[in-house]
Each structure stands twice: as structure tokens, then as C-alpha cells.
Amino acid sequence: MNKAITEKFEYWLKNASGDADLANELRKIAKKLEEAKKNNDSEARKKIEADLDDRFYCELEFGTGGLRGIIGAGTNRINHYTVARATQGLADFVKSRNPSFNKPGTASVAVAFDSRHKSSYFARVAAQVLAANGIKCHVYKDITPTPMLSFAVRRLKCSAGIVITASHNPSQYNGYKAYGSDGCQLNLSDSEVIINRINKLDLFNDVELADFDEAYEKGLITGIDSDVIDDYFKSVKARSIHRNICGGSGLKVVFTPLNGAGNKPVRRIFKETGVADVVIVPEQERPDGSFPTCPYPNPEFKEALELGLKLAKEENADLLIATDPDCDRVGLAVRDESAVGGFALFSGNEVGAMMLEYICRERRVSESMPLNPIAVKTIVTTDIAAKIAEKYNVQLFDVLTGFKFIGEIIGNLEKKGEQDRFIFGFEESIGYLAGSYVRDKDAVCASMLICEMAAFYRRTGKTLVDAREQMYKDYGYYYHDTQNIRFEGQAGAAQMKKIMDNLRRSCPKQVGKIEVVGFSDYLNKTVVDFRNPRTGPKSTGLPKSNVLKLVLEDDSVIIVRPSGTEPKLKIYYTSIGLSMSESVNVQKRVKEDFTRLIGV
């Protein structure tokens, strides 16, 4: 173990006394290391030192969305001290942006948390830091969906917002998302300012921390009242197009919140919009940060839906709806007797495209479509959206991956008084938003609209499976798949960087025996058309981001980017054919060859 790691470990042993769990964790590690040295157990010592290296080789990075990491002791972990330091940096930023800040309570921040381990504790720590800095903290009293935090920031006119969550990561993770006064995740420039402030702070000596009870008595910490929550649900229901269609439709839904924050809010919106026949997956109903029945609680993947699918089949349900732990993403399976297990899983691309068409078509019919409507998707999300938008004369924007970029489009519209032009935004990773009442994806609203869409088609004698098939017939059979390749620790991060550097330096001429005709480098903000080399590179027109895109001669697309929240490389594949089987076969060949080309 190198000297720098040893010094950091010893520094934490000496100073991390403010959190009993962390202090105990560090003492246990020190004791095991001492025993391994004493017993001359080289294997045990090697494992402990490797663990310490991973804990201390870097600081948990505050990215554009905040923090996310494994819970535990160390600079590369999320814990009392990394949360407190991040909040101190945010507090300094808030005070600097409020020139009239001259007494406690002048500025305010909203805080929410989900069902994960230590979420409520980290929310409490954040509130203590804010209060110590004279910033009023509005805290949700119970576990709360992330979109409700975005709503509270705007409704309470806060300077910023914090939600403690690691979204759909495994149970050993937690995280910290920071929001601006617009209710949107922090933009790139504000994130950079806060990161610089955080990096100047010592974890143990430069953070202010108030006594929670005293701050509560002084009014610097306060609970968020029910009127804010009620206003949120009113705003969600306002996004409905056919508001009474679910009542009496006969629609039967199995719902699972995957032991997260969606249980009460989604059930409330179902009740208030007439979705009466709802069965809850009992093992996944109550909040539980261990996620005992789905170690990876991501409703995008079938593994997390196994219990729900089993119950849906037993109940002969029409739909299975699943929300992730912080209830900003929603997964969908639809009864389909021709599918294995009797249910077809719908991808985020499919649900998003179908919701876009439903909203466009039905708002035209109901004459509720605004003038010059706008929809937004991320660059890794299906291009079916472009064809739908063209059909209904909707302007479509492509933005970088991350829902904050969709939120920024809404914010720019709001500055011009045109926020009602925004009708829908979505990303392939099962995140959707209809309307400008929040600035983040919202699984409560999406769950409502999915049921409404299903009830609408049911009235016409169709299922969502039928509607999906019609969409493919109308716009082409798009097949999308995402490859997630994990790269753990310091060595993994280096390997990911090498793959990206190699591709950036030398783009393959062919993939799967299909010519590469276009290459976009979003880090260098360039787009190259190999078929017209004389025109030279064009600009992406987007902020810098470590993303690469390859366009093949048959319109297949490959997009590669390191995940911003997990140690993995994400590769998005799209192929288009005259049938789904044709698209699948093309993509299989492309995927196999590209995986070989990058050496994984």
C-alpha cells in the first residue's frame, strides 16, 4: 500500500469520529490489517490493502448531477463527510448567488430522500449543514419521488434542491442529486462552480454543522406541508388528455414500487384517475433499501420484474407497471399470449415513442395542442420520434444524455413565456415527462399516462401490443439494444478511457461488414460525413460530452459513452428493417463485430 493511501487512511481513523458507523468500520479495517501483518498473512493483507486503495485512491467525484457511490468509509465512498462537504459547497454557492443574503432564512433549499440505506440520515446531515449556513431547509417528511423534489423547489421558490438517492443502482450504493432554482438538475456551468468550491474544502475542518433539533426550533429546518404535495398531484392530473377514460375501462394493473418511493404516490394517482383494479406485488410493496427480491432494482430489466410478471400472469392482468426506487423511471410489461411467459416487455424507446404519438394525435383531436409544439429526446434515444414529430408538425430537439438537458430546454422556453409549447420529453432509459410542472423525469405522471393510453386503445379494441405493431408498420421496424460493460476500480476506469481514446483516434471503416459513413465526436463537438469529405467536420451544436456515434450505410447506429453514474461503458445499438427479425439479425452481426473491434 503506497504512502498516500496509508496517510489518508490514518487521517480518517483519527478524524472520522462524528459518525459512529464510519468510525467502527475504520477500526475494524485497521484491526484486520494489523492481524494480517502480525500473522504474516500476505493474501489477507493484499485484499485489505486493495480495498483501502479503492476507498482512498480518489475522491468521490461531484459530477454534473451530484454524487453517487458505494456507502462506506473513505474519500471514494458516499458517507456523512462526503455528503456534508458537498452540501457545504452547495451552501457556499447559494449564498454567493443571493447578494441580499444577510440573515438566516433569506435563502432556502428543498431536500428529499428515497428508501435506500442511510438516505434519511444523509438528508438530515444535508439539512444540518444548510441550517448552519443560515439557509432554510424544507425537508419532505417521508420517502419521496425525485420529481416531487423538483416540484417543491419551484413551488417553494427555493434557491436549490437536494435529493438523496442512487436511483436504480444496487443496494450498496447511495447518491446525492443537486438541483438549481429552476427545479432542474444543476447545469454544467453551475456544477463547475460548485465542484471548485467543494474541492477547496477539507472534509473534517471546513464544514459547518448545526444541531438538528435546535435548527428545527428556530425554523431553519421545516417539514414540507401537504398543500405542496396536493398541488403536485393536481399538476400531474392536468397532463391527462382523456381524464375519465380509465374509470370503467376494465383495465387491470399489477404494480410494484420495487421497495422504493413510488408505492403511495403511484397508488394515489391511480385512485384519483379511475384506475381501480390494481394489485400490488406484496414482497416489493414496503420501503426496503436492501431490495431483497431484486438486487439490481432497475425496472428497465426483466430480472427486476420477475415477481411482478409472475403475479401479473396469476392475476390475468393487462399491464405490469414498475417504478424504480426514487420513482422517476417506469418499466412496462403488457399481456401478450404470443410472448414467452405471456407478457411482452416494452423498452423505453417503445413506450416513449408510443406516448409521444398518443399525446400528439390526441391533443390534435382534442384541440389542446399548443402553437408550435416542442418535444425533446436525448441523442441515444430512438429516431422513431423524429418521424412521429414530423408527421404531427412538432419541433423535435436532440440533447445530450441526462434529463437535465431536457429540463434546460423547458427552462429556456419559460424565460420567453412559452413553456406550454413543451409537450413531451423522454430518454431511452425509461424516463418520461409530459408538461413543464417539474424539470425531471416523472414516473408518477408516466404511470398515469401509460394506463390512460392503454384504456384508450382498449376502447378501440386494441392492446398496447397492437398499438406498438402499428407504430412499427407506420415508421419502420427499429430494434434497439444497450450493451453495459462493467469496468470496476481504478484499472477499469483506465481501460474505459483507452477504449474511448482508441475509437476517437481511429474510427473503424466497417462494422459487421457494413460501411461506416458518419462519425460524431461529442467531446470535440464534431460531426464528420465520410461520404462528403470535402465538406469538412460540422458542429454537433451541443455542449462537450464524452460520447461517440457511428452511423452505418444502412442507417444502423452505434453510440458509445462511459456511464456518468456507474463504472461501466454503455453502447447503444439501433438497426432498422422491413421486419423486426431482419432488424434483429443485422444488429446481432453489428454488435458481435463491434465488441470484437473494441476488445471486450
pLDDT at 600: 84
pLDDT at 92: 94
Residue 493: pLDDT band by 50, 70, 90 thresholds? Answer: confident
pLDDT at 64: 67
CB–CB of 251/275 below 8 Å?
yes
What average pLDDT score do residues 336-344 get? 94
Q: Which cell is 538 given? A: 460540422
Note the pLDDT tens digit of each residue in 302-337: 999 999 999 999 999 999 999 999 999 999 999 999
User: Partners of 571 in the beta sheet?
Assistant: 483, 560
Q: List helix spans (H) across 331-442.
A: 348-365, 384-391, 403-415
Does residue 101 register a pLDDT over 70? no
Note the pLDDT tens digit of each residue in 348-357: 999 999 999 9
Does residue 63 register a pLDDT over 90? no
**Catalytic position from the list 115, 150, 167, 545:** 167
Amino acid at 492: G
The pLDDT > 90 percentage for the chain reads 90
The pLDDT > 70 percentage for the chain reads 98
Rounded Cα distance between 410 and 303, Å, is 34
Rounded Cα distance between 17 and 48, Å, is 21
Q: Which cell is 555 given? A: 442507417
The sign of the torsion formed by the CA atoms of 545, 176, 202, 492 equals: negative
Instruction: Give the list of residues 6+ apart from residue 533 with CB closer than 8 angstroms, or none.
Output: none
pTM of the model: 0.94
Does residue 103 register a pLDDT over 80? no
Note the pLDDT tens digit of each residue in 168-187: 999 999 999 999 999 999 98
366 given a catalytic annotation: no
Rounded Cα distance between 297 and 322, Å, is 10
Other C-beta atoms lying within 10 Å of the C-beta of residue 310:
15
pLDDT at 420: 96
